[in-house]
Amino acid sequence: TLSNLYEYDNTLVESSIFSLYEPSLRAYWKFDSTDPFMVLDMTTNSNIGISINEPIRVSTLFGNGMYCDGEDDYAELESLHNSQFSEYTIHSWVKLTNYTDDFGTVFGTVNDGRTWLGINSENYFEFKVLSGNELYISPITNNSVEAKLGVWYNLAATYSESQDILRLYVNGTLVSELGITPSHSIKTATNYNYMCRGQNGEYLNGTIDNIAVWDRSLNSDEIQYVYEQPLGFGNYQSFKTDDGVLSTSPALNDTDNDGLSDSEEVYFGEDGYITDPTNQDTDNDGLNDYDEIFVYGTNPTNNDTDSDGYDDKYTFLINETTGLRTNQTGDAFPLDNNVHNDTDSDGVGDNSDAFPLDSNESKDSDGDMI
C-alpha cells in the first residue's frame, strides 16, 4: 500500500538525517528535564538555553514543554553555528494560549542569521528571514493555516541560499514558499538566539516543545518524517542518553542528592563553584558540597580551603571526664590558616586561647594566667 511505501521511504530518510554520520543536526531541545532554569540540548553540541523570567514546564503531548506568558518569558542561547547560516531548518511543536497584537515568536535566530518562525498579527503561521537588506516573509496562500487556540501544530521552515528559497510547513505539509534574490545572504546581529521571543520582543503566549535546528535545508520527505516521529527522532545515535548534564540521571534534578541541582553544579555556578553533579563530596574531604557552600562557607572543590595543611572536615572525640575534645583531626577553623584546634570548644583556637582547656576563659590581658 501507499502507507507501506512511505514507511520504506521514512527508513531511508531516518538513516540519512538521524544517523551518527549526519552532523547537520545542530540542536534538539525536548524540554523534558525538570530543571526550571535550563533548556538542555539533547545532541552532543550542548547548545544550552537559559530561561529568563521563569517560563514554566508543563505537560504536553510528548512529555514536557515550555509555557511562555506572552509578556516577558523566554529562553536565550548562544550561537548554534559559529557562523551565519546559509542553509537552515527549524522545527517545533507549538500550542497557542492566546493571540498577541504583534508577531508571536516560536524560535528566532539572531547571531546566526536573523530568522523568525511564529504567528503573525493575523494569526497565521509565518516564517521571516532577513537576507541581503530585504525582509523575506512567507506569503499567505490558499494552503496557509490560521492558528487556533489550544491546538497543537507542528511547524517547520527551511532557508536555502543554494536554492534561493524559503519554505514553511505546517503539520508536515508545505503551505508557503518564497524565492530569494540569488545575490542575497542572511544578515546577522550580535544578540542571542531566542525561544518564545524575537530580536526586539514579539513574545509568544503559548507552549513550545521538541525544537530542532539543522544547518541544512531538509526536503519535503524529511520534513514529513520529522512530523511523524515526534518522540525521539528515530535512531539518531548522537543524542545524549541522559538529561544533557554530563552523566547525570535523566529522571533527577539532583543526581547526587547533595542539595544542589545538576545544572547549578555544572553550568550555573551561581554559588561561585562548579562541582561534580554525580558526587556529593567533590573534593573528597568528607563534607557534602551543599553544606560546604551554605553551612560552613568552605570551598567544595578544595579539601583545605585556608591552605593550612588541615582538611576542612573537623572531627574529634570528647573525654567523658574532662569534657574536652581529644583526637582532633582536620580544621576547626577552615577559613583561618592560623589556627586549627579548639580543645575546649569555646570558638577560640588553641594557639590564640590563653586558657585552651577552659571553655569559660580565653583572654589573659596581663599574662598572669588568671
Number of domains in the chain: 1
Domain of residue 51 covers: 2-228
Closest CA to 159 of 217, 84, 213, 114: 217
Element (H, E) at 361: none
pLDDT single digits (tens) 324-342: 888 888 888 888 888 888 8
Q: Percent of the chain having pLDDT more than 90?
A: 44
38: in domain: yes
239: in domain: no
Q: Residue for cell digits 530585504?
A: 134
31: in domain: yes
252: in domain: no
* Cα 44 from Cα 238, distance rounded (Å): 6
Which position has the higher pLDDT, 114 or 21? 114
Report the predicted TM-score, pTM, of the whole model to 2 decimal places. Answer: 0.63
* Cα 28 from Cα 214, distance rounded (Å): 9
* Cα 107 from Cα 92, distance rounded (Å): 8
295: in domain: no
Integer CA distances (angstroms), 233 to 91, 326, 350, 356, in order: 12, 62, 65, 68
37, 263 in Cβ contact below 8 A?
Answer: yes
63: in domain: yes
333, 315 in Cβ contact below 8 A?
Answer: no
pLDDT single digits (tens) 287-316: 999 888 888 889 999 999 989 899 988 888
What CATH number does residue 56 fall under?
A: 2.60.120.200
42: in domain: yes
Judge whether residue 271 has pLDDT over 60: yes
85: in domain: yes
